[in-house]
Amino acid sequence: MSTSETDPELRRKVADLKDADLRWRSRMTWSLGIWLIPGAIAGVGTWFSQKPMDRDQIMFSGVLGLGFAIWFFGCLLTRMLFPRPAIKCPRCGNDWSSSDDYPHNMVTWKCCPGCGLQMSNDAGWLEEP
C-alpha cells in the first residue's frame, strides 16, 4: 500500500475537494451581491410607482423591507439549490467542514487532523513521483 506522500490519486482528491469548497464559497459570496440587484430594482420600482404625495416614512420602510425580503429569500434559494459540498478526507472520512476553524484554515492545512494525509500546497505536491 502506498503512503499519502506517494499516492497521486489521494493528492488529486484532496485538491479537488479544496477546489470544490473554494468554488462553493465563491458562489455564495457572489449570490449575496447579485441578489441585491433584484431587491433594489423592486424597491426603487415600488417607490417610484407610487404618487409623490403617498411617499412617506412608512412607504420608505415598506419599500426597504420589500428589497430586504427579496434579497433574503433569494439567498436562501441559492443555498437550497447549491448545498455545501461534503468535504471529507478521502482516506479516513474525517469531516473537514465540521472543524472549529473550518472556513478560514481548512484550505491552508498541511495535513488532515484525523489521519495525517498531506494536504499542503507545497511545490510539487500534485506532481507524479
The pLDDT of residue 38 is above 80: yes
Per the structure, the complete domain to which residue 85 belongs is given by 8-108
1 part of a folded domain: no
pTM above 0.85, yes or no: no
Tens of pLDDT along 72-111? 999 999 999 998 888 888 888 777 776 555 555 666 677 7
Q: Tell me the HSE value of 93 on the side-chain side, using a 13 A CA sphere.
A: 0
114 part of a folded domain: no
75 part of a folded domain: yes
Specify the number of domains making up the chain: 1
* The residue count for the chain: 129
